Amino acid sequence: MEAIDQIKEKIFQNRSFVLEAGAGAGKTYALIQTINYLIEKKGAELKLNNQKIVCITYTNVAKNEIIDRLENNPLVLVSTIHEFLWDCIKLFNKQLIVEFDAINTIKHQAKPEKFALGLAERLQSVEYSDRPYSDFEKGTVGHDDLITLSLKMFEHYELLTSIIASKYPYLFVDEYQDTAPEIIIAFLDFLLPRNDGIILLGFYGDSHQKIYNTGVGSLQNYVDANNIDIIHKSENYRSSQEIIDLLNNIRTNIQQEIPAGVVKNNGSVKFINCLNYPEKEKKQKVKDYEDSLIPQKNANYISVINELQEKGWKFGANSEDKILIIANSRVARRGGFGNLYSVYNKRFLLGAAEALIKREHPLTSLFVGSMDKKTSIERKTGIEHLVHFFSNNSFNEISNFLKRNGSHSTSLKKHSDKVVINEKIEGLITARKTKTVKEVLEYALEHKLILLSKGMTRLFENIRKNTEGLPDEEKSKIEKEKSFYDAVMALPYKEVIALFKYTQNQNVFSTKHGTKGEEYRNVLVVIDDTSWKSQYKFESFFDGTDTSEARQERTKNLFYVSCSRAKENLVVLALSKMQELAMQTIANWFGNDNTYEIK
């Protein structure tokens, strides 16, 4: 029986379920099929009862895609998890204050100087902000604490879960594996048991595609407890048979196959192991040894790239082929903005990717714009966007940009206006080629091509503060911010240009994390056990010796997701040497004829 028929049967039985669908299985299509089936069969009843189907997504991009594919049907509420949770709990203000105070009390135990007791007595209301962190004294719950707050509300207020079930008799969660465990508990330990027969929950995703630390990963414990049923979807519409065979070796809970009637090109899988490294000297430090191998690793990498290009792979802008690298730092280095990433990494540590690559820091967005979190639409507000408009002779775009982000009110209709702006932007383009970030910014401000955002204005105010007499914590924070700003300003501007190309998908590099859901003709996966040891160990994954079960699982999932992006041909390049035991597994998975060595 096909997956969609099994889903229809569960709906008839009013039995909650999880659809486990491997890469390329058409999971989102199955979700759309389910919702359209419900609209057809239950639409009139839902409308009569003033009820809606809920579809919860992990990202705004997915949300907008589903809304579009459902043609904005008013019977369906498509929402991100944070939007939905806040919409459910926001009217319970009195209870929100109590639970927000409870979270504040827990934080007080760790940092009594920062979180004062008795918050409930000081608050009149609780509001939600999509910023990462809460401001407890202002009664503002942040992105992260909303998850904890929602679980407390679902657990302690049965009326809340009854209202949700009566409003939304069908609730579906897309990419369930990335959903926070607290939300799964809220839904499956409180919402569903209290409203058995009133609400049906459906979870769509793949436990093997959980690559973020915050996700629940698997719902197998709920399946084993008979709380929900499991449905497997075994089709793979994306990949060649050779890649599907590899994926079936990596995972055991689904054996995928090409659907009947679907014709695929022949493909290939290859694994390349680098053995041309000198042995570590006895007294040599591990880091020194690893650093000494970088030139040879680069040579191996370039050799493989050249060979693939000779075979017809294309690594230009917007190519059908892709290079996937594990760490943001390596992607930045290959992409030409490695020093810029290093400065951000030193300042923000694990938050460097958000601040730089996701463009959430005002200094980043000043140069390369940003992404609207709610709509996932590009905010074309950076200096590099202005240059892009100029390169495309888009004078309407230039005019709109300068009105919004500069201090020019002209519409550029007069020839003389265009001449002046042309000269200024041409000067900017010339400066970008050889000048530092500071020099380019000063030029743009001096010629009124850009205005500082509120975030940048606050940044300037902070780094220019006189720190004498300030508390040590505040003084240290300002000094760190100033040091970070000065370090960015001293870099060659060409690194900003390279970052912009990366954000616009104009280079061939990506992190393995950043491509989930995407697909490419050919994929080169680059693995290196010196990249991010605390999180990933590929050799230990292959030979089964990792002492950390969590890291083993994390590595397996990342490797699976990376390999499954390829439609036709896949090459895995191990820049760190794989030993004999690991190579036995690799040979079993890829085939002896498909494993190669650089000696």
pLDDT tens across 316-366, in order? 767 889 888 876 676 777 778 889 988 998 898 767 778 888 888 999 999
In the predicted structure, residue 290 carries a pLDDT above the cut 80: yes
3-state helix, strand, coil in the chain (%, to 5): 55, 15, 35
Strand ranges, E, within 207-320 = 229-233, 268-274
Q: Compute φ and ψ for 269, nearest 5 degrees.
A: -130, 140
What is the predicted pLDDT for the residue at 594? 98
Q: Residue 170: which of 5, 57, 72, 39 has the closest Cα? A: 39
What is the per-residue pLDDT for 200?
A: 98
- Cα distances (angstroms) measured from residue 536 to each of 75, 223, 275, 556: 43, 29, 21, 9
Residue 408 pLDDT grade (very low, low, confident, very high; cuts 50, 70, 90): low
- How many CA atoms are closer than 13 Å to the CA of 140, on its beta-carbon side? 10
- The model's confidence at residue 412, banded by pLDDT at 50, 70 and 90, is low
DSSP 594: G
Mean pLDDT rounded to a whole number for the chain: 90
Statement: residue 547 has pLDDT above 70? yes
Residue 386 backbone dihedrals phi, psi, to 5 degrees:
-60, -45
Place of tokens 């990249």: 531
| More confident position, 396 or 43 | 43
Q: Determine whether 527 is exposed, middle or buried from the number of CB atoms within 10 Å of its CB (0-12, 13-18, 19+).
A: buried
- The tokens of 581 are what? 């035991």
Task: Read off the tokens for 215.
Answer: 């996700």
- Which pLDDT belongs to residue 513? 44
pLDDT of 485 over the 90 cut: yes
pLDDT at 465 (0 to 100): 87
- Note the pLDDT of residue 549: 93
Mean pLDDT of 491-508: 85
Whether pLDDT at 508 is above 60 = no
For residue 82, the surrounding DSSP H or E stretch is helix 81-89
**pLDDT tens per residue across span 68-91:** 999 999 999 999 999 999 999 999
DSSP string, 494-548: HHHHHHHHHHTT-SSEEESGGGTT--EEEEEEEE-TTS-TTT--HHHHHHT--S-
Distance CA 521, CA 399 (A): 39
Q: Is the dihedral of CA 383, 427, 317, 502 positive or negative?
A: negative
Q: Using CA atoms, how far apart are residues 586 and 527, in angstroms rounded to an integer?
A: 13
What does the DSSP assignment read for 364-375? HHHHH-EE-TTT
User: Taking the mean position of all CA atoms in its chain, how far away is CA 260?
Assistant: 33
Q: What is the reported pTM?
A: 0.80
Query: Which uninterrupted H or E stretch holds 47?
Result: helix 27-48
d(CA 402, CA 387): 12
Per-residue model confidence as pLDDT tens digits over 171-191: 999 999 999 999 999 999 999
Range ranked top by mean pLDDT from 99-108, 372-381, 530-539: 99-108
